[in-house]
Amino acid sequence: MTATPAASHSRPAHARPQLIALVMLGGMAGTAMRNAIETAFTASGEHLMPWATFGINVSGAFLLGLLSELLVLVVADEERRRRLQLTFGTGVLGGFTTYSTFLLETVRLGETSHPFAAVCYLVGSVVLGFGAAYLAMIGTRRVIDRAQRGRR
């Protein structure tokens, strides 16, 4: 017995191969972008601060806040919103940002006799990432609200 289209939409995302494929494709794209940036801006010598990962994670938080608000405020169709969120939020931005590298770099900074830099990197990444996501969400709401008021 095959599932009808309506029945397949009621299944959770992890049980829908087409949605898993969207996450995988998005993740490959995001990871490739992150790798290109990290390769171009590798920390070496006296430049021990991992600025590439810092910039990637803060900009990724901003983009995720922007995407999340846009999807909620602009995309009415729930299935389309889910596909876009999984492709670009979970996939692209999930592959682009990197929590594990961020933590590994924090530990390495602390082990190389730079514990203050490690703490600043840790706290700064979290605080600025939160701030970036928050500003993106608030800014997106304001822009969408103004656009909608302008149409009236």
- In this prediction the pTM is 0.86
Nearest to 99 by CA among 53, 131, 59, 137: 53
Query: How far from each other are the two terminal CA atoms of the chain, in whole angstroms?
Result: 50
Look at the chain and report how many structural domains it folds into: 1
Q: From first to last of the 152 residues of the chain, give the pLDDT tens digit.
A: 454 455 556 778 778 889 999 999 999 999 999 999 999 987 665 557 899 999 999 999 999 999 999 999 999 999 999 999 999 999 999 999 999 999 999 999 999 878 999 999 999 999 999 999 999 999 999 999 999 888 87
Distance CA 120, CA 103 (A): 13
Domain span at 79: 5-151
Give the model's pLDDT for residue 16: 85
pLDDT at 1: 46
